[in-house]
Chain A
Amino acid sequence: MKFDTPATTNPIDQLKVIGQPLDRIDGPRKVTGTARYAYEQHDVAPNQAYGHVVGSAIAKGKIVSMDLAAARRAPGVLTIVTAQSAGKLGKGKYNTARLLGGPDIEHYHQAVALVVAETFEQARAAAQLVKVRYAEARGAFDLAAVKDRAPDAKPEGESPTQTAVGDFAGAFATAPVKLDQSYSTPDQAHAMMEPHASIAAWDGDKLTLWTSNQMIAWSVGDMAKTLGIPKENVRLVSPFIGGGFGGKLFIRADALLAALGARAAGRPVKVALTRPMMFNNTTHRPATIQRIRIGATPDGKITAIGHESWSGDLKGGGPELATQQTRLLYAGANRMTSLKLAVLDLPEGNAMRAPGEAPGLMALEIAMDEMAEKLGLDPVEFRIRNDTQVDPEKPQRPFSQRRLVECLRIGAERFGWEKRSATPASVRDGKWLVGLGVASAFRNNLVMKSGARATLGRNGIVTVQSDMTDIGTGTYTIIAQTAAEMMGLAIDKVKVELGDSSFPVSAGSGGQWGANSATSGVYAACVKLRDAVVQKLGFNSGDAVFEGGAVKSGNRSVPLAVAAREGDIVGEDTIEFGNLDETHQQSTFGGHFVEVGVEAATGEVRLRRMLAVCAAGRILNPKSARSQVIGAMTMGAGAALMEDLVIDKRRGFFVNHDLAGYEVPVHADIPHQDVVFLDETDPMSSPMKAKGVGELGICGVGAAVANAIYNATGVRVRHYPITLDKLLDRLPSVS
């Protein structure tokens, strides 16, 4: 199905199942421990051996020699895979560094060997016996030190990295009120709860991988490319994924080494990365240094806005797109953005939840708060005054829907914003300095080609199959809701099977495109299935209605199952998107509101209240969508207050590479969270009229926390995370 004209009324609009806050259909399995994740597929292939990964002890250089003798002699050891023994390997399209290093080493903890043994304990013990001699080379590990030599980042696809509209320099120079500030965000880790894990089994030259992966088709392609085998010989199965956040968009060392280990051992091999290896072996969100300049008239109209960002990555890698939102979020005739990319020899930087916008808004939305204060304007009002209903770079191009102002107004009203004191450090609650902060949320709505197959069985059950993944986002449930709505069934008459590359290729889970794109693919498959059913029953397709488990036309009503009496009926299709995303800018919007308490003597920050108001098209399931948003708000709170991969700048690695050192929010850090979704449909986005919310929730929330801390204390911190050492010496004197 081609989607190239705005959606009109369709069966989804009935909202009998779609739009309902239903419990997750996979919920009972998840809460009873019977949902099986990659490493737990004990029965899919017999005689599984265990692989343990050895990581490089240097960040850059060469392996001089490897002594495997002791490891080979260790009890239970079956084989050891190294770059030397693995044969020629390619590199995946989506990988920057090779997944198996040697002799060249590209980053710390790059995998250099896999020790395969009969048991986990034996593999782990033997891996300690692998002796590697390295020749260490000098590397660049400090973004600030190399920033000024960083060239312009190369454009990726059609998205330019340098933009200019009007006369930014002139307008900024002459602006009556202006701000020119620098901000920084640190490297951050996905730290999903399930470590990267895979089980590999070969059947002749055919490989099956049970793995934990967000993008099945990408990863089939990259696994085939890396191994140098045809794509048809690779099958990936990933029914449950214990969190991804972008860290499982690609195949990683566990998958490749399981495949190589299984080939070398001649039997299935399972590999999980250990938690301490994940932080340097896999990808992370790169640090940024950002400079923002805003010029405005005294009444608060932005006349010039400029955003520059510096980030680093391995050679051949890409920039953190931290200036993206600044091209679209606020009005202003004169504007520029610039992305610079330095080469760093740290582990590979890549996408983490809302790449670009998450760190970009952490800076931009502090800048907006600072600017509002310079103008003597309320920060909500300042944002509203600079709303735009068109793409500010191309005014002939409207937003398909843009209700940022409503998000901010409703949020302000619900949160009691009018009680905020504009004077920082003026509200006390016992030992706590109390402040409120606001930020805009913004994230583009991407649409991706997505396929599905819907099969009606003679029992009246519709089974939907797609290689789409559920990474905790609620995909199983919203796909079931879509099929139920389309076929006129109750949700328990729909079965959903996901995450298998033998199913039709879907959008996959990334960039908050999954929900809207994948359910649109299911919509398209169900349209095909409806046609086939109508034809089978000899109904007039024009007036057939699917409801209550039956197909109705005129005064005829036939149970749906009857159509499949002689055998399964299959509908399979792929939704493809035309250029509506070019004629109309499709984005999602929100307002974040945060109340913090800062301990007057110690500078300890406690979140007291959080609210997000979101406008993101049709909300397919308000319960799971709300969970997406509160989860993103939690991750954003972590980014604001604690998350920081600390670099050893001599040796070039992230020092705090476990969950004790890399702190993420825990129960005690997070208060009750409220989420409001505006009632919205966006017919430009898809037949579902939905958009994504999974990333919107993290966009801006960090700055809302920072702005609340400023309001509480009068201390403006522009370098994340806002830990108490950055507040202590500037806190108001304790009275």
Chain B
Amino acid sequence: MHFPSDLAATRRDLLIGTAAAVATTSSSSRLAAQAPADIGPVIAPVSFEVNGAQREFSLDARTTLLDALREHLHLNGTKKGCDHGQCGACTVLVDGRRINSCLTLAVMHQGQRVTTIEGLGTPDNLHPMQAAFVKHDGFQCGYCTPGQICSAVGVLDEIKAGVPSHVSADLTATPEGSEAEIRERMSGNICRCGAYSNIVDAITDVSGRKA
């Protein structure tokens, strides 16, 4: 069971990564303000798999994974709600784990496997989680919805893999897919329309537990 410790390491990396990104931004703007505004962007090659297809990019190194998906691949399902990792609308699955795609640069994902909402199902062939969201009306405006669904798919996998959460009473026992566990784990995905009660019903339905 390496998952929990991997997760912890990822969180630390993320904090370090964020701090570094902030530092770079401010120093580069100082640099640019001093003179050479004519230095062009750093263009970097990167390739990764998106929804089963290998994609090659040549990207401005500042491009987030979110903008690579939205602005370069025109996969619009992954939403930009805050661009700051505060709302969860941009949640995608990378190598099977959910992340905020706005908080990570595209060039950091060389060789990885990205699954977006478009990779889960289509209007004519819905993924069970997508179908459950429709059935339980787990959305209104629909803007946070792809992120909620990707997150929900990730949550059920995490519970299955035995990853504990803040509300798990016993960190070593297999967590249950209780409503409290779902609410806690889904709390990084904001829905301002307030469909939470229905979203929990949808996820519970897919998890096989009685609502």
A residues contacting B by CB (< 8 A) are 23-24, 26-37, 39-40, 42-43, 70, 73-76, 119-122, 125, 128-129, 190-195, 240-245, 272, 274-276, 471-474, 623-624, 626-628, 630-635, 658-660, 664-673
Contacts and interface: CB of A to CB of B under 8 A. Distances in A.
Report the contact-size class of chain B (Cβ under 8 Å from the partner): 35 or more
Nearest to A35: B142
Given A129-B32, A243-B143, A36 B79 contact: no
A42 B32 CA distance: 31
Contact of B140 (A75, A125, A627, A673): A627
Contacts of B145: 30-31
B84 A667 contact: no
Contacts of A667: 182-184, 186-187, 189, 196, 199-200
Contact of A34 (B77, B82, B135): B77
A627 B122 contact: no
Contact of A192 (B33, B37, B41, B141): B141
Contacts of B117: 31-33
A129 B197 contact: no
Contacts, number: 225
A275 B116 CA distance: 22
B146 A23 contact: no
B86 A659 contact: yes
Ranked nearest first, the 4 interchain pairs of A and B with the lowest CB-CB distance are A33-B77, A634-B194, A242-B143, A472-B141
A709 B140 CA distance: 30
A548 B49 CA distance: 48
Contacts of B192: 190-193, 243, 245, 635, 664
Contacts of A242: 79, 141-143
A190 B38 CA distance: 40
Interface string B171-187: 00000000100111011
Contacts of B130: 28, 31-32
A194 B143 contact: yes
Nearest to B125: A32
B144 interface: yes
14 contacts: A23-B137, A31-B117, A35-B142, A37-B76, A125-B29, A125-B32, A195-B80, A195-B82, A242-B141, A243-B141, A275-B84, A630-B197, A665-B194, A670-B194
A74 B28 CA distance: 12
Interface stretch (B4-12, B63-71, B93-101): B63-71
A75 B41 contact: yes
Contacts of A659: 81-82, 84, 86-87, 190
A73 to B, nearest CB: 4
Interface string B118-151: 1011111010001101110101111111100100
A634 B196 contact: yes
Given A632-B194, A665-B196, A627 B134 contact: no
Given A33-B76, A275-B86, A472-B142, A193 B190 contact: yes
Interface in B36-78: 37-41, 60, 62-63, 67, 70-71, 74-78
Given A472-B139, A634-B197, A659-B82, 14 more contacts: A29-B123, A31-B133, A32-B117, A34-B76, A34-B123, A42-B76, A129-B29, A243-B140, A633-B194, A635-B194, A667-B184, A667-B189, A671-B197, A672-B179
A29 B145 CA distance: 11
A448 B188 CA distance: 39
A108 to B, nearest CB: 19
A23 B134 contact: yes
A119 B195 contact: no
Contact of A31 (B79, B86, B134, B184): B134
Contacts of A119: 41, 60, 71
Given A74-B32, A120-B67, A631 B194 contact: yes
A673 B116 CA distance: 30
Nearest to B60: A121
Given A275-B82, A670-B197, A30 B139 contact: yes
Contacts of B193: 193, 243, 472, 627, 631
A26 B116 CA distance: 19
B194 A31 contact: no
A272 B123 contact: no
A125 B194 contact: no
Contact of B198 (A121, A194, A627, A635): A627
Contacts of B189: 666-667
Contact of B79 (A190, A193, A666, A673): A193
A60 to B, nearest CB: 27
Chain B interface main SS type: loop
A70 B137 contact: no
B89 interface: yes
B191 interface: yes
B80 A631 contact: no
Contact of A660 (B83, B84, B131, B186): B84
A499 to B, nearest CB: 13
Contacts of A626: 137
A30 to B, nearest CB: 3
B100 to A, nearest CB: 12
B18 to A, nearest CB: 13
Nearest to B179: A672
Contacts of B74: 40, 42-43
A411 B195 CA distance: 22
Given A32-B126, A194-B79, A664 B41 contact: no
Contacts of A472: 139-142, 193
Contacts of B116: 33
Interface centre among B38, B76, B189, by most chain A C-beta atoms within 10 angstroms, is B76
Nearest to A128: B29
A272 B179 CA distance: 36
Contacts of B67: 120-121
Contacts of A274: 83
A36 B84 CA distance: 22
Interface centre among B71, B117, B120, B126, by most chain A C-beta atoms within 10 angstroms, is B71
Contact of B137 (A191, A623, A669, A672): A623
A75 B83 contact: no
A623 B77 CA distance: 24
A673 B32 contact: no
A125 B62 contact: yes
A624 B186 contact: no
A29 B146 CA distance: 10
A253 B146 CA distance: 27
A241 B141 CA distance: 6
B180 to A, nearest CB: 8
Given A31-B126, A630-B194, A665-B196, A120 B71 contact: yes
Contact of A668 (B89, B121, B183): B183
A85 B139 CA distance: 43
Contacts of A276: 84
Given A245-B192, A667-B186, A75 B139 contact: no
A275 B192 CA distance: 14
Nearest to A659: B86
A627 B137 contact: yes
B39 A75 contact: yes
Contacts of B146: 31-33
Contacts of A23: 134-135, 137
Interface string B84-116: 101101000000000000000000000000001
Contacts of B63: 121
Given A40-B70, A241-B141, A471-B141, A195 B81 contact: yes
Contacts of A635: 192, 194
Nearest to B74: A42
B21 to A, nearest CB: 13
A313 B156 CA distance: 47
A39 B28 CA distance: 28
B134 A121 contact: no
B10 to A, nearest CB: 20
Contacts of B60: 119, 121-122
Contacts of B139: 27, 30-31, 472
B86 A36 contact: no
